Each structure stands twice: as C-alpha cells, then as structure tokens.
Amino acid sequence: MIFQKITHLKNNMKIKLPELGEGIESVEVTDVFVSVDNLVKKDDIIIVVESDKASMEIPTKLDGKILSINVKKGDEIKPGDLILELSDSTSSQTVTKSEPSSTNIDLNVSNSNDNINNDDTEYISLEESKSIYGDGNFEPTHDSSAEQQQIDPGLVVATPSVKKFARELGCDLSKVHGSAKNGRITREDILNFVKGNQNKPSEKAEKTFDDNESQHDKDNLVSELNQTNIKPKSNTQVELKSSSNIQIDDNKLLKYGSIEKVLFNKIRTLTAERMVDSWNTIPHVTHFDEIEIDHILNLKKDIELATESKKVSILTFISRALIDSISKMEKFNSIPDMENNVLIVKKYINLGIAVDTSNGLVVPNIKNAEKLSIKELNDSIIDISHKARNRNLTPSDITEGSFTISSLGGIGGRYFTPIINKPEVAIMGLSRTFKKVYLDNSRIPYEVNILPFSLSYDHRVIDGAEAAKFCNLFKKNLKNLSING
C-alpha cells in the first residue's frame, strides 16, 4: 500500500501531480481544461499529461473554486509539482470512499490504530491495481507574508532546465521578462525573447551545440526553434553535432520550394530514442516464415456465428498459439542481465500488442495472458487496443511486458524486420495474408490463405536453431488450435 498525505488549512488546497507509475519521472502537459475562477467538482478532469507511451487524465478529488493555475500546455512536470490551487468548497475533513470506475481509484480512510506519527493527519490508502488517476497530491496553502512579498527585480527566477536552455541559446536571462507566477521565466519566454531579437545586427543567428550536451536536448531545441519560426539569417545554419554530422540548412531546402516543420510529440521522440537504443545495443536477427491459416479463418467465422460477444480478431488465435509456444520455450520470455551474466526467465507472460495511434506507436500489454481463455484473450486485445487509440492507457498497461506482437496485417506488406522492445528478447511481426495457388492430386488448382510472419530475436540470448524451432512450434500450435484453445 502507498499512503498519500492529505491535510487541510483554511479550506485552501494545493493540488500536485501524483505519482504516475514506476519509471515515469516526468510528463508533458498536453491539455489544460480549467481556468482561474472556474468552479470544479470532484472527479472533473483538470489537465491531461502525456508520458512516452500514454496519455493520462488528471482529475480533482474535491469541489471548489480555482485560485491559480501553475501549469500550461507544453510544460514538462514531475510527480509532486504543483498543478493548481483550489478553494475547497467543503468543510469536511474526511475523504470518503469513492465508487470504483474506469477512471477513478478507491480512496479508503485508514482505520488502523498503528499511527505513523502523533499528528492529526489522515492517511489514505491507494490501491495501485485500479487506476493512477485518484492519487491526489494535496498540500495546504499557506497565507504567509513571505509568499506574498514582491520578488527582487534583480533576481532571476527560473528552473535549472530553463537556465540550461537559455545558456544553449546564448540568452541573457536578466533581459527576459518572466510571464509565470512571481516573474518566473519559462522556456516560452526565452523563445519569444530570442525571436524578438533575431533581426538585430548584433545578434548571432548561428548556434552550435557542445559535444557534451545530450542529443535528446539538441533535437528538442531545434524542434522548438523550428516551431516558433526562429530561422537563421541567410548563409547561416543550425548545426547538429551528431555521430553522422548531419547539418540542417533551411536555405538549401527552400531553393526548391516551401517546407513544413512538424514538431515531434513526446511519444514519437521517446519512441525514436528507444528504437535507436534497441537497434544499437541488441544484435538483431530476423527469421521469416509463413503458415496456412484457412482453418483459423473458418474457426473465426464459427465463433462469431455461435456467440454474440465482441468481434473475434484473428490476432486472438495467433496470440494463443504464441503463448503456448512461449510456455514451452521460456527463453523467449526472458530478460538478459549482461552485467551479471544472468538470464532472468519470467514464469508469466505479459503479452504486448503494438497499436498504431494518431500520436504514434504504443505497446500496451495484457498481464498474465497465459491464464486467459480464448474469449478472455480476445476481449482483452480489443479492450486494450481501444484504450490505446482513445489515449486512456495507464502506466500499468504499458510496463513490464515480456513478449511483443506487431501487426501490419490491416495495412499491407509481406515481411518486415520488427525492432525488439527492449529489454525483451524477441518480437513477432505479422504481415498481411495473401493467397497462394496449389495443385491437388488431380492437378486441379486451389487457393489457400497464407500468413507471413517475422521473428526478430536477440542473438546474445537466442541462437538461429532455437528461433527456427520456436517458429515451427508456433506453426504447429496454430494449426492444432481449436475453439477450446
């Protein structure tokens, strides 16, 4: 159990970003749904944040009036950062149990006699298995004179990341007017300042990055410059010192026509980073194969006719055959600990399903998929795909996967090389089915439906012979699959 401290003072509350899950250190604010002086009710959504793989709605757990908002769209915030200050319209000092739903978490007042300390603080137990959304981080607003006093005009108020950003641009923060609370300078203030001064003769338009700066920061900086239409002067360029020494010169591109600059969203940026990391650190080998699936298509039709449940996906049968194969060849369900020369073999299967969304590719996974029936597995695949496309995934949905399926069946192509979802050791790619013509014993042609598939695997852990045996086992399991699984 995790205990979240909730205290009250003068009915004013500070609402902070809750802990969102293991490994999530920061998120980007993608939407702010409230304004100062708005009246909000319990469970109203106040902001939407986006991590590398999921968008999450953050609700308020109290009724009240918004006194101030401390975040805006595009801000990067961390668990514990202040979102807004709220005037609590209730006088009750007890948080009551909320009804469970798809977006709420049960908050239960602890009745334990084992007091953590001797103050009057109430401790609320948070059931992590339900949802991240109800973890309200609340702190009392202190009406101290220290908080109300004017900031010294000679003092620069900015976070370390903003100061670093200003140094990268060669921007003098003492000349920048801060638009945030208490005159705090934001990244947007710096960009606006640079944009307003870019035409001055004394200003340098060229920016070269230091080698010791992270490539991620470089990419984000160039994207932000592009997004705000900050362009170098003629015959100058923004240079990226990367391993490939790629240089971007707008003037060369504009010689042939107009261009458009599209900023990477957080999912696309971090997906790119992880794919590069996986490709550069894992020796990939891909095994290509195919299987006849007419019996699976017939089985799919029979189940759809016999039941009134959700639509049956062919991916359900493929997943079932894969789960059975992984259970027999457990090395494909492992994590290599190369520092200690240990292979960690999982005795459970959290099956990842890659889903193409408007924001990019996300990979939620179905926990303990080996315990599910065909129907339960089918419903889980449909539900988690729906959650991904509607940006309703929680951190629990996208962490701790053990094997991934990536399907291009609805789009096209015959074979491809899927990149392993690190730290997993294998991934299966499914392509679009096609028809192949055979001749029977009487020399009469007939058609069969063929499913092409690709298995990428970590050659540090899996040998080529093992991969071939795994694919043969998968084909056998799929061929022998029945309505009972």
Active site residues: 459
Phi and psi at 86, nearest 5°, equal -130, 135
Interaxial angle between packed helices 160-169 and 187-197, expressed in degrees from 0 to 180 and rounded to the nearest 10? 20
Cβ atoms within 10 Å of 314's Cβ, excluding its own: 17
Cβ atoms within 10 Å of 408's Cβ, excluding its own: 19
**Cα separation of 213 and 305, whole Å?**
60
CA 203 from centroid of its chain's CA atoms: 39
* DSSP single-letter state for residue 108: E
DSSP string over 221-284: HHHHHHHTT--PPTT--EE---TT--EE-HHHHHTTS--------HHHHHHHHHHHHHHHHS-E
CB 161 within 8 A of CB 75: no
Q: Is 466 exposed, middle or buried (0-12, 13-18, 19+ CB in 10 A)?
A: middle
Dmax over CA atoms of the chain, in Å, equals 96
Which residues touch 165 (CB under 8 Å, ≥6 apart)? 187, 190, 221
Helical spans, DSSP H, in 288-394: 294-306, 314-328, 374-389
Amino acid symbol at 446: Y
DSSP count for the chain of H helices, then E strands? 11, 26
SS3 426: strand
**Cα separation of 483 and 454, whole Å?**
25
**Cα separation of 31 and 69, whole Å?**
13
CB 355 within 8 A of CB 389: yes
SS3 219: helix
**Cα separation of 445 and 442, whole Å?**
9
